[in-house]
Amino acid sequence: MKTVLVTGAAGFIGSNVSQTLLEEGYRVIGVDNFDDTYNPQFKEKQIAPFLNNPNFVLERVDIRDLPALTAVFEAEKPSYVVHLAAKADTRDAVQNPRLYISVNIDGTLNVLELCKEFAVANLIIASSSSVYGNSPNVPWREDENADRPLSPYGATKRAVEHLAHTYHHNFGMNIVCLRYFNVYGENNRPGMVPYMWTEKLLKGEEIEISGDGSRKRDYTYIGDIVRGTILAMEKPLGFEVINLGNHTPASLNELLAVFEKVIGTKAKVKSRPSHGASVEVTYADVSKAKELLGWEPHTSLEDGIIRLVAWFRSNRLEKS
């Protein structure tokens, strides 16, 4: 049985990745500090189903705490590391850049150092579509210029990609940086539009739409992201940066139409100004993921929203 250390295991993507890894017969070491970017009780709930699983170990550790993180690597000697722990709010990052640099860059440096020291066979790092900034050359390929992010969050993700490459170059480590695009679904992070709209629409409350609703996002279902992440983990590639996105951007207005159809309600909508760190469109070219990982997104926006709404109804209604 191989051991996978998942950082950020209690979070949105981390809890879904951990669940599938356990189902597929891996031993999972979940590292998370239950950071308060959003309600830590949600994270406790997301991790709860694994706590009785003998193949799961939870370590309440901050990735910036090198001695504590070293002790986890020392005790568990993971074969693979899936590094998802991060501060991940683009707008918040504009106000709190130091915190983002500390967690996302210094924390990742600790992970890189320990993967080197403990000869981890493959390290997967969560990067983001936000590295592409407002580049007009959509769909974005991985070789597109990614040196003009709009938020310090995107800058930290780009810096981490560069740092990771140096560890591959100097120490021969296998590292894949996955640029995730607008992930949504079960255990969704609360600050994201699909979550906020699900909550408001189910409660019959007014939703806010940014600008004229024309901004497009490549909303990608969590199940597809989990599959791509595990495929990358199981296939050491040297060093690669790979997009994981739906390759089918939808505007906010189009997303709203899907929600109205799925929930069977007409939304009350209020317009609000767009944030300066918001890009016009995110749109992944996924041919590299197909070529290197045999991965393609399978889940349509409507099918994914059906699952998100069903999950929200049974897990968050009356509880948030």
DSSP letter, residue 105:
I
> What's the closest the beta carbon of residue 303 comes to ligand NAD, in angstroms?
18
Number of residues that bind ligand NAD (CB under 6 A): 30
Q: Determine the residue with CB nearest ligand NAD.
A: 11
Q: Measured from the CB atom, is 66 or 237 closer to ligand NAD? A: 66
Q: Does 224 bind ligand NAD (CB under 6 A)?
A: no
Half-sphere exposure of 271 toward its Cβ, with a 13 Å CA cutoff? 8
How far is 41 from 182, CA to CA, in rounded Å? Answer: 23
Beta bridge partners of 125: 83, 177
| Shortest Å, Cβ 189 to ligand NAD | 4
- Using rule CB under 6 A, residue 195 touches ligand NAD: no
128 belongs to the binding site for ligand NAD (CB under 6 A): yes
Instruction: Report, in Å, the least distance between residue 289 CB and ligand NAD.
Output: 14
Smallest distance, ligand NAD to C-beta of residue 109, A = 12
What is the Cα Rg of the chain in Å? Answer: 19
CB of 204 to ligand NAD, least distance (A): 26
Kind of pairing between the strands at 80-83 and 122-128: parallel
Any contact of residue 88 with ligand NAD (CB under 6 A)? yes
Q: Of 43-72, which residues contact ligand NAD (CB under 6 A)?
A: 43, 62-64
Q: Is residue 37 a contact point for ligand NAD (CB under 6 A)?
A: yes
Site for ligand NAD in 162-191 (CB under 6 A): 180, 182-183, 189
Residue of 38, 132, 153, 195 marked catalytic = 153
Q: Please state, in angstroms and as integers, the Cα–Cα distance from residue 28 to each residue in 7, 13, 115, 117, 252, following that order.
A: 10, 14, 16, 20, 37
Tokens at residue 173, please?
A: 């480590």
The vertex-148 CA angle with 168 and 273, nearest 5°, equals 135
180 flagged as catalytic: no
**Distant-in-sequence, close-in-space partners of 161: CB < 8 Å, separation ≥ 6:** 125, 127, 131, 177, 241
Tell which residue, 157, 181, 188, has the closest CA to residue 244.
Answer: 181
Q: What is the largest CA-CA distance in the chain?
A: 56
Q: Is 25 helix (H, G, I), strand (E, B) or coil?
A: coil
149 binds ligand NAD, rule: CB under 6 A: no
Is 278 a binding residue for ligand NAD by CB under 6 A? The answer is no
Among 28, 103, 255, 293, binds ligand NAD (CB under 6 A): 103
Distance, in Å, from the CA atom of 8 to the CA atom of 301, rounded to the nearest integer, reads 25
Residue 255 near ligand NAD by CB under 6 A: no
- Asked whether the beta carbons of 38 and 115 are under 8 A apart, the reply is no
CB of 100 to ligand NAD, least distance (A): 10
Q: Which of 4, 5, 6, 8 binds ligand NAD (CB under 6 A)?
A: 8
Q: Which residues bind ligand NAD (CB under 6 A)?
A: 7-8, 10-14, 31-35, 37, 43, 62-64, 84-88, 103, 107, 126, 128, 180, 182-183, 189
Catalytic positions are 153
